[in-house]
Structure formats: C-alpha cells, structure tokens
Structure 1
Amino acid sequence: MFHFKSIMLASAVSVAAAIAGIQGADAQTRVTYKSAASGTAYYQMGVELSEAIRSGTSDAVVLTLEESQGSVQNVLEVSVRQGNYVFTTPPGLVRQSQAGEGPFADRPSERYAEIRGLFPIPAITMHIVVGGDEGVIGLDDLEGKRILIGRGSFGATEAQRYIDLFEMGDRITIANAEIGSGPDALKNGQIDGFVTASSFPTPNVIETAAGMPISLVSFTDEQIEATGAARQTIPAGTYPGIDEDVQTTSLPVIAYTTTDMDDDTAYQITKTFWERRDALAQNTPWWGGIVPEMVGNIAGKIHPGAIRYYDEAGFDIPDELR
C-alpha cells in the first residue's frame, strides 16, 4: 500500500511540474526584433541586446531576431505587423511615416501613428579618417587632401553635404568612388583619408589604426550647429593614437515598438536595457556611447510602459514625448 501511495504521489508531483512548466512557457513573452542584415554591426547589436534582455528578465522576455533590408523596411512593416514588434530606425523616418512623406508618400498607413519609442541604441556616427599621427585635427586640415567619401550611403551623402556647407569643394579632392575600400586605399597611398559612418568603435577604423597612424577630424561647436545634426563625442582612447575626445555628428537610432505592446512588457524591456547597459558596454564598447540625454532624440511619443521606467529612474522626459 505504501508503495502504491508513493507511486501516486510521485505521479502527482510529475504532473504538477509539467503543468508548472507549461504555465511558465505560457508566461514567457516573445518579441520580434528587426534591425539590419546579418553580418552588420546593427545585427550584432541585436544579438547582444537579445541576450541581455533574456538574461536580465530570467527568460521572461525573449527577443527573436529577424534580418532586415534596412530602416525603411522596418518602419513599413508596422502597417502589417501585430503583437510585440520592436524595430530600429532613425527618428527622422518615423516623422516621415507619420507625415506621409519621403518613402512613405505612396504607402501611407494609419498604423504609423501607433509607433512608440523605447530607448536609444548606438548612433550612426560620422568618422573622417586621415593618415598621420596628429591625432585630432580640424576641417581646415583637410585642405589639399584626397578624400574618399564613397557613394549612396548615409556617410557619403552627409559628407557631401558638409563639403558643400563649408565650401570645401575647391580645397579638397574627392577620390573616385570606384576605389572601393577606404582602409586599403589609405594604406596603399591612393588617398589621404576616407569617410565612414557607423556606430563606434567601427571595425574599419580599428583595422586602419592597427596598420598605420591615423587622425580623426573634430568639429567645432559652431560647425556642429551649422550642420543641424546631432552632436556625438567619440571618447579619447576609442581608437589607437586618438588621445583626445573627438567632436563629430551622428544620426540617432532608436528602438521603437507600437501600441500593440502592453505597458508591462515595454517597461520590462526598457528597464532591463538600461540596467544592463554598462555590462553590454564592457563586452562591446559601442554601447558605452548611450547616455540618458539621447532619449530626447526619440521622434513621436514614448511608450507609456517606457515612460513608467523613465519616471522611476528620474530621467528628464520632455512633455511632448509623453
């Protein structure tokens, strides 16, 4: 009899454990995270963020990464996505989507009004890299140099805008975009410098600095204001030989969701991101550039769940973002 009761008790415990496991699985919140193509820095950030959220919430929230063809696609998918969808994009594209402008002019959707901000991720930062051991130089020091700015990318477009803005077209030579790789061309003496835009520290600048001395262009306060772009500081020591802070510009990038996400999930994701930010930065330095002031770069409204965390943590959130 005792043996029979022991078997029944063991069976009951097993069933209870199975039910608890099922309930635990049901309690797990799954979130789709869409950022960039596999192999890019922003996809790698997604991998790192996914692990940080998973471990920081003890598996209560799991981010599933999806490849993307870019920020425009990420925003366009808001019109058809349901549920917990998190995506990354520059805030300017959110403004355009909600105004029905730019790439969204022919594809309007009322769903764009439901986009809500969560937190900033590493910005696309302008780097103007020049051969030489000066370390930090100014725009005027580019005079007479051959600079590769590329073609078609954000960095190339922004570099050309600055060349026109500061009337540098007659003072520098724009290298043929067909040259290809900036680091290789600089090492081979085909050019004197190149422009690249990415989160920092960016691999191609690290690669260049590992093989030769480099300098970076630092903008003055007046020059940054004239560009109308967001200010970005690349801290001293980010790259070999660069022993002073570099003042440059950047294109902010934000992690967004929609009103489909419930407040508790948005709160949990946002809280975990900020609590894990320092640990993320220890593993990959590009997270170290994220500071609370960057929350102000969010376009549109911040998700109420994220607002709850920001109020608890004492962040200064402008009224227009609430």
Structure 2
Amino acid sequence: MKLKWFAALAAAALVAGTVQAEERITYKSAKTGTSYYQMGVQLAEAIKAGTDGAAIVTLEESQGSVQNVMEVRARGGDYVFTTPPALIGLAREGKAMFEDKSDPSFNDIRALFPIPSLTMHFVMSADSGVESIADLEGKTILLGSGSFGATEGEKYIQLFGLEGKVTLSDAELSNAVAALKNGQIDGFVTASSYPAPNVIEAAASTGVKILSMTDDQVAETKRTKLVIPAGTYAGQDSDVVTTSLPVAAYATSKMSDDTAYLLTKTFWEQREAMAESAPWWGAVTPDMLELITTELHPGAIRYYEEAGVPLSDAHK
C-alpha cells in the first residue's frame, strides 16, 4: 500500500514539474481575419513546434496597436504584443493617441524581433489605364475606413496633389475585390504585409496594376522605402517601389531573460519554415532590427550576440 502511495506521489510530482517547466505566452496582435492575426496563428504553431511544446502561445484578438500598448499597464511577464516601433516612443512621451495616457510601465517595454511590415499597395484595375500615382486623377478609389491603410492612403492623396481630384468610394475594404471586378471602382488602397491576401485575390481574378512610387514620393511620405519583388503577384512583371511601416513583437522587462531568449531564438530558427507556407515571413531579416528604435529585451540581446547580429547602442 505504501509502495503504491509513493509511486502515485512520484508520478504527481513529475507531472507538476512538467507543467511548471512549460512556458505559457499570451500573444496579442490584431483583429481576426486580418493578415496579422494569421501571422499570430503561424507564430504560435512555430513556437510550439520549435520548442517541442515547451512554450505554448495563446493568441488573443486585438483592436489594434494602440490597445496592445495600453494593455502593458495591466499585463504580466507572459505578455507579447505587436506594434509599430514609433508607437512606443509616442506612448512614453504621452503624445498623439497617447496624450494624457502616459504610464511608467511604458518604459518597461522591450523588443524581441521584427515581423512583416505594413506595406502600402495602390492596386488599380488593368482597364483603368493607370500606370503611375499621377494618373489617379479622375479615378474612383476605395480606401476603406478606420485602418492604417485608409489613413495613410488619404494622406498620400493630399501629399501628391490629388485631393479633390479623385473620387473616394464609400465602402468597406472587404468589398474592394468584388467592387473592382464589377467596375464600381478603378482601384483600392490597402496596407498589409506582402503578399497581401486581398491583392493576391484581385491579381488572380482580374488584371491589376500595382503602382510604384518615385524616390521623391517615398521621401515625401517620410515612411520606410520597401520593394515588392517582381512576381510577387500574378501579372507583376517588375519590382514595385512603395512605402512601409515597420512592426515588431514586444514584451516587457517583467518577462524573464530565459523566456525572451527562447522566444527570440525559436522565432529565427523557425522563420524559414514559416516562409515556406506563408511568403511574408521571407521578407523578415535581421537587418530589420535597424528599424526598432527602442531597447531590446536582455534575453533577446543574448540571442543576437550569440548569433553575431550587430546591434546599436539604442538596442541596449
């Protein structure tokens, strides 16, 4: 009887030890149905596979990057979220959308690794005859509403002297491909990591032209230049020069160094495998760390130093 009791106790202790060793991470990114939510699903699967189940990532839907940053105030060391690096500086300074909302916990935010950038796409139907941004005059464009792409698209229309010269369609971006097929619009603007699902659909189902920007236009936007390689979309015979907004995965200093190291190391080791099934991961390289303008987590720094990845003083 005593032997059975001892065996049961030993088995219970072994199970308890296994549970304690397992890292549980909450990953908050974007709304369901978006490319960034899909990335979260892919990342969760990759972390589980890459750690043999030692780290389990639970995905949470988010209303956007601002909410992700704001939740740092109430979250613990298991919290990982995505946001453009620029928002971290704004949050710390209490500027723009963080006005009167600054909090000391924002100073504890630490970066782990870059993820695919938000990439601007000006997608025009082949029948529209539009070959450049300047040709948009007199055309009907769908921007959608409430998204980064909509806000950025409206800004570009103003910057490039097209305000009042294009008709903006009052419809949701989810209707863009159908509206393009039916000839209700000449084109649409979307911001997503390339290859973007709605652009893939539009290019495959109807002829489209993805517009390139000049270097002067890119400079005018004050965004990061990005090149979408030829062949990314059906019928795209040449590179497309456009703009992007870098995005990264963050934790806080509450996360242990070992956990941050494990997540960062596993991400980079699994990146190529993720890129085989989802090409947008192929655009992520260590060079993109230059676009992260705040401190990296000490655990992430340990990995990058082991891997020989150069870091800036700002990262430390």
Q: Give TM-score scaled by structure 2 length.
A: 0.92
Report what 2:94 is aligned to: 100
Q: Does 1:299 align with 2:296?
A: no
Report what 2:302 is aligned to: 308
* Count of residue pairs brought into register by the alignment: 315
Report what 1:230 is aligned to: 224
Q: Is the CA contact 2:293–2:314 (under 8 Å) kept in the aligned structure 1?
A: no
> Larger radius of gyration, structure 1 or 2?
1
Q: Does 1:75 align with 2:69?
A: yes
Report what 1:182 is aligned to: 176
Moved more, 177-186 or 212-221: 177-186
- Cα shift at 1:106: 2.3
Report what 2:156 is aligned to: 162
Q: Is the CA contact 1:126–1:155 (under 8 Å) kept in the aligned structure 2?
A: yes
Unaligned runs of 5+ in 2: none
Measure, in 2, the Cα distance between the counterparts of 1:211 and 1:71.
32
Q: Is the CA contact 1:149–1:174 (under 8 Å) kept in the aligned structure 2?
A: no
- Cα shift at 1:11: 7.8
- Cα shift at 1:136: 10
Q: Give secondary structure in 2 for the equivalent of 1:126.
A: strand
Aligned-CA RMSD value = 2.4
Question: Paired residue for 1:139, among 110, 113, 133?
Answer: 133
Q: Give secondary structure in 2 for the equivalent of 1:233.
A: strand
- Cα shift at 1:156: 1.7
Report what 1:248 is aligned to: 242
Question: Paired residue for 2:110, among 102, 109, 116?
Answer: 116
Q: Does 1:28 align with 2:10?
A: no
Counterpart code for 1:107: K
The C-alpha deviation readout for 1:120-161, integer Å capped at 9, x for no partner, is: 111111100011189994323434432222333211211121
Question: Paired residue for 2:54, among 48, 52, 60?
Answer: 60
Question: Kindly, what percent of the aligned residue pairs are identical?
Answer: 53
Moved more, 273-282 or 14-23: 14-23
The C-alpha deviation readout for 1:35-57, integer Å capped at 9, x for no partner, is: 12223221221111011111111
- Cα shift at 1:25: 1.4
Q: Is the CA contact 2:230–2:239 (under 8 Å) kept in the aligned structure 1?
A: yes
Q: Give secondary structure in 2 for the equivalent of 1:305.
A: helix
Relative to 1, partners in 2 of residues 1:147 and 1:23: Cα closer, same or farther, differing over 3 Å? same
Q: Give TM-score scaled by structure 1 length.
A: 0.90
Relative to 1, partners in 2 of residues 1:111 and 1:227: Cα closer, same or farther, differing over 3 Å? same
Report what 1:43 is aligned to: 37
Counterpart code for 2:15: G
Relative to 1, partners in 2 of residues 1:260 and 1:166: Cα closer, same or farther, differing over 3 Å? same
Counterpart code for 2:69: V
